[in-house]
Structure 1
Amino acid sequence: MHSAKGKHVEINSDSVVDRVYEQLKAMAVSYEFKPGERLNEGDIAKRLGVSRTPLREALNRLNTEGFLRFTPGKGFFCRELDAHEIFDLYELRKSIELASARLAIRRAKDSDIDALLAFLDATGPDPGERSAIELVELDEAFHERLMAMSNNAEMLRVLRNVNARIRFVRWIDMDRLNRSNTQAEHRAALLAVKARDEAACVSVLEKHIDRRLDQITSAIKEGYAQIYMATARAVTG
């Protein structure tokens, strides 16, 4: 009885940590905390209605995953928008997507490929009234479903981490991209998988994912402007 009760408490505790983790992750990804800002654990605990213990577990997890920074003796900080770090993450994204595409060429089921082609048809080349946030969600969904065809869960886990860590820059980047071109590249890569044409698939994806350092730097400058303009509006409003 005692052990069962203890197990119940542990499950609840894990659930609280998971909830706090997801809330803080969303705040970190969207830079609700300012770049370089020190996080006030007391204020955050009150805001989220939790004790310091699950909060600290969630913060440690986010630090390990690269969403926050920890400095001994000083605490947790929001990560900076660092162009070189984002560039490295784009390189990592490209390397695992190309590797997974090669696996998908050999392992993908035609039914899964056809389902993803139907997804492209349903979401269309026209952005319509969708926001940049919604368009990035659709783009991530496509790439994650394509990677899932490799049947490599660890690659997919890494891609999801990378996608979340570059998401803010991709929201900015999405406004500069031509969705018709992006969707055409998605379709070309997918049709190459269906044709089991590795060279064609890799060629399309490499061009599609690649970002130069100057492009990333430009997006980050715009990102900083948006972050601090939003702060100014909140203060004056």
Structure 2
Amino acid sequence: MDKAVLSKQSTSINHQVSIVERVYEQLKDLAIRFKLLPGDRVNEVELARQLGVSRTPLREALNRLVSEGFLIFVPGKGFFRRSLDVKEIFDLYEMRQALEMALAEMAVQRATPEKIQEIRDFLVVSMTEDPNRTVNDLVSLDEEFHERMASLSGNLEMLHTLRTINARIRFIRWVNMENGRRRQTQCEHEAILDAIANHDVEKARSLLQAHIDGRLEQITLAIREGYAMIYMNRSTGQ
């Protein structure tokens, strides 16, 4: 086959991939922030119009979100935003807790002083009081700390899994951050990093176990408050 034809085909494929990736990120953001209401059917025609894409890349992005747990697909009916389910969120918290404790054990064995110092520098910035930071900013900083800690393990597959879990529980963490756990969280971050720097596996694990607090009653309350926020924002047009 002619090189020019191959190059043109390759460019076309790359362009299609970039469109799907862009649509996926846009839809994921809508899902995380519950701009797609819990239990609501996804209007594919309207979304395609809003995002300026055809149904093909939109479908690819929607199917990806189904595989990651943000949406569900009902044959013959279409895609729906997954509801906030107490048991499901509880299971995700348990999974996150077990995963981060395992990652911390690896980090104790593999982290270099330079990488630990990079996270200390990040904490200095993230702990700085900034009145311009939104709740979304604070949640992003919290997630970044945990993902930086996970990266100390050197296990990219486990890090990828953690990122997916974080995205699925982000709204609940947003509710918790709104309720003022910021300062306590930051102090706990410092203690966890110190334990890893001191090669204290048991302390790092126990601190993380307490820090990632996914008790059923707290999750139930957060979901109740979350639904109130979702529908209040919808009624006020936010």
Q: Which band: TM-score by shorter chain?
A: over 0.9
**Which among 167, 188, 193 is matched to residue 170 of structure 2?**
167
Deviation, structure 1 residue 128: 4.3
Counterparts of 1:1-20 in structure 2, within 5 Å, are: 1-20=4-23
**Which among 144, 147, 152 is matched to residue 144 of structure 1?**
147
Inter-partner Cα distance in structure 1 for 2:169 and 2:130: 21
**Which among 15, 26, 30 is matched to residue 27 of structure 1?**
30
**3-state SS, counterpart of residue 62 of structure 2:** helix
Aligned partner of 1:73 in structure 2 is 76
Aligned partner of 1:211 in structure 2 is 214
Deviation, structure 1 residue 89: 0.6
Matched, 1:176 2:179: yes
Structure 1: runs of 5 or more not aligned: none
> Contact 1:127/1:179 (CA < 8 Å) preserved in 2?
no
Q: Could you tell me which amino acid in structure 1 is paired with residue 61 of structure 2?
A: A
Q: Could you tell me which amino acid in structure 2 is paired with residue 11 of structure 1?
A: N
Q: Deviations over 1:96-154 (max 9, x none)?
A: 10000000000000111112112112222646442221111111110000000000000
Q: Could you tell me which amino acid in structure 1 is paired with residue 236 of structure 2?
A: R
**Which among 158, 165, 184 is matched to residue 155 of structure 1?**
158
Inter-partner Cα distance in structure 2 for 1:175 and 1:41: 32
Alignment RMSD (CA, Å): 1.4
Aligned partner of 1:198 in structure 2 is 201
**Which among 211, 233, 236 is matched to residue 233 of structure 1?**
236
Matched, 1:115 2:118: yes
Inter-partner Cα distance in structure 2 for 1:205 and 1:122: 21
Q: TM-score, normalised by structure 2?
A: 0.95
**3-state SS, counterpart of residue 31 of structure 1:** coil
Aligned partner of 1:87 in structure 2 is 90
Aligned partner of 2:192 in structure 1 is 189
Q: Could you tell me which amino acid in structure 2 is paired with residue 221 of structure 1?
A: R
Deviation, structure 1 residue 211: 1.5
> Contact 1:126/1:180 (CA < 8 Å) preserved in 2?
no
**Which among 64, 68, 72 is matched to residue 67 of structure 2?**
64
How many residues align? The count is 235
Identify which range, 98-107 or 170-179, moves more after superposition: 170-179
Q: Could you tell me which amino acid in structure 2 is paired with residue 46 of structure 1?
A: R
Q: TM-score, normalised by structure 1?
A: 0.96
Deviation, structure 1 residue 178: 3.0
Q: Could you tell me which amino acid in structure 1 is paired with residue 53 of structure 2?
A: V
> Contact 1:125/1:183 (CA < 8 Å) preserved in 2?
no
List structure 1 segments (4+ residues) > 6 angstroms apart after TM superposition. none
